[in-house]
């Protein structure tokens, strides 16, 4: 490509990128990612706001950045040598002080060699990638230099309220009612920015189909489409339940257990879903235990899962899981004689035990949830545990263990 042509594209993109947008700040401490010269990889599910996060990042760079979107059709004739022309242009415009913001970079062959080269020159780079050609979760494997990852999810409840311009620090009962009403909407619609802005839950169907068809079926050349769709529908319709591979084999008709494992792994790689295992101090026992399946945005439970709309308890638990994924790296469930929904491990210790229940009004339900939590607290030597519900708030002391009962919406907002 001619240098003047590349300069024209960069100038056009820079002008468009710098236009003011009503962006919602994400709950990410970005300052940690400006330090050092590590390559920063922004990864996450389609449509969760990766490009918008680049814009938020740019606002803190005092205009010392160059934004390049390689999805631009004008880059069709881009060659490997043209990377050098980009560096020359940036050097002339910014005197080698610019930070590179690179969007959809996977469209250019051997891009990773160039990004690694920028790193070796002590140039700061932020990278995002589209899942259609290269899973954003895989970008780090292409970068041999040091890198950090910003794991981005759809909006949290706090971000959802910010978008709705609802005051988080409620002082009146009326403001509190507005937050609770918004929580019920969030429980159903999830956190995809465009779904919330356009009030169009049906968009999640398109997101789902793009991920399944482009990122999984097309990418991995899957031919038995009916079988994988049956498997996915079953998993989505049975979130928060234990499953075994033998059960999935029966349900889906997929004969190979390794293929079933691969399909679930594909769902995890695209950030569409995740699984947790039963915690055991024996890693060998832990690996062979049944897993539980969760979807990483509640919108899919409304539009994709079969007959799921009325199962509010499981939808609530699924929401709690997605928030736990934002906060913690190691999440398990507990099962001995009783069950506890979530166990949080930090380094070598179990730090938290959490139950999720729609309502504790039924005495039998309350007894079951408390007993499961108490067993986990005793097994892991914890002094207190948490039960998250739709609206109950209470504090109990049972068998020298403190049990905090709190509405999910308050827990999401850390109040």
Which residues are 277's β-sheet partners? Answer: 291
Matching residue, tokens 């940690």: 32
Query: What CA–CA distance (Å, rounded) separates 213 from 46?
Result: 13
CA distance to 36, 125, 208, 407, per residue, from 65 (Å): 16, 10, 33, 43
CATH number of 3-152: 3.40.50.300
| Bridge partners, 151 (sequence order) | 43
Nearest to 102 by CA among 62, 141, 67, 136: 67
Question: Hunting for tokens 């919602």 — which residue is that?
Answer: 24
| pLDDT the model gives residue 137 | 67
Q: How far apart are CA 90 and CA 66, in angstroms?
A: 7
Distance CA 337, CA 316 (A): 24
| Full pLDDT tens readout for the chain, 415 residues | 999 999 999 999 999 998 878 899 999 999 989 998 999 999 899 999 999 999 999 999 988 999 999 989 999 999 999 999 999 999 998 877 899 999 988 878 889 899 999 999 999 999 987 665 666 667 777 887 788 989 999 999 999 999 999 988 888 899 999 999 999 999 999 999 999 999 999 999 999 999 999 999 998 999 999 999 999 999 999 999 999 888 899 989 999 999 999 999 999 999 999 999 999 888 777 777 889 999 999 999 999 987 655 689 999 999 999 999 999 999 999 999 999 999 999 999 999 999 999 999 999 999 999 999 999 999 999 999 999 999 999 999 999 999 999 999 999 999 9
Domain boundaries, the chain: 3-152, 321-415
pTM of the model: 0.93
pLDDT value, residue 170? 82
First-to-final CA distance of the chain: 56
């Amino acid at each position: 490509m001619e240098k003047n042509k590349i300069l024209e594209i960069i100038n056009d993109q820079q002008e468009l990128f710098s236009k003011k947008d009503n962006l919602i700040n994400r709950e990410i401490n970005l300052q940690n990612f400006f330090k050092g010269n590590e390559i920063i990889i922004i990864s996450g599910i389609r449509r969760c706001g990766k490009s918008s996060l680049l814009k938020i990042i740019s606002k803190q760079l005092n205009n010392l950045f160059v934004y390049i979107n390689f999805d631009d059709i004008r880059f069709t004739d881009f060659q490997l040598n043209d990377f050098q022309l980009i560096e020359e242009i940036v050097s002339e415009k910014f005197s080698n002080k610019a930070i590179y913001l690179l969007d959809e970079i996977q469209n250019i062959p051997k891009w990773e060699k160039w990004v690694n080269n920028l790193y070796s020159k002590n140039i700061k780079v932020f990278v995002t990638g589209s899942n259609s050609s290269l899973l954003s979760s895989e970008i780090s494997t292409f970068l041999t230099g040091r890198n950090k990852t910003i794991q981005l999810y759809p909006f949290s409840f706090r971000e959802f309220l910010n978008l709705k311009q609802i005051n988080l620090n409620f002082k009146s009962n009326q403001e509190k009612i507005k937050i609770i009403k918004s929580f019920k909407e969030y429980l159903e619609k999830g956190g995809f920015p465009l779904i919330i802005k356009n009030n169009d839950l049906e968009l999640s169907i398109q997101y789902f189909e793009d991920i399944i068809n482009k990122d999984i079926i097309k990418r991995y050349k899957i031919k038995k489409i009916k079988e994988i769709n049956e498997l996915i529908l079953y998993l989505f319709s049975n979130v928060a339940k234990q499953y075994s591979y033998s059960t999935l084999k029966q349900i889906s008709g997929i004969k190979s257990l390794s293929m079933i494992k691969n399909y679930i792994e594909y769902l995890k790689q695209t950030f569409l879903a995740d699984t947790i295992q039963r915690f055991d101090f024996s890693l060998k026992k832990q690996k062979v235990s049944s897993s539980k399946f969760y979807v990483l945005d509640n919108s899919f439970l409304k539009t994709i899962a079969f007959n799921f709309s009325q199962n509010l308890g499981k939808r609530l638990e699924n929401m709690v899981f997605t928030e736990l994924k934002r906060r913690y790296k190691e999440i398990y469930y507990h099962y001995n004689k009783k069950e506890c929904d979530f166990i949080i491990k930090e380094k070598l210790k179990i730090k938290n035990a959490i139950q999720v229940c729609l309502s504790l009004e039924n005495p039998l339900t309350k007894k079951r949830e408390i007993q499961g939590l108490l067993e986990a607290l005793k097994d892991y030597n914890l002094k207190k545990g948490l039960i998250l519900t739709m609206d109950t708030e209470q504090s109990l002391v049972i068998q020298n263990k403190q049990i905090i009962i709190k509405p999910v919406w308050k827990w999401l907002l850390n109040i």
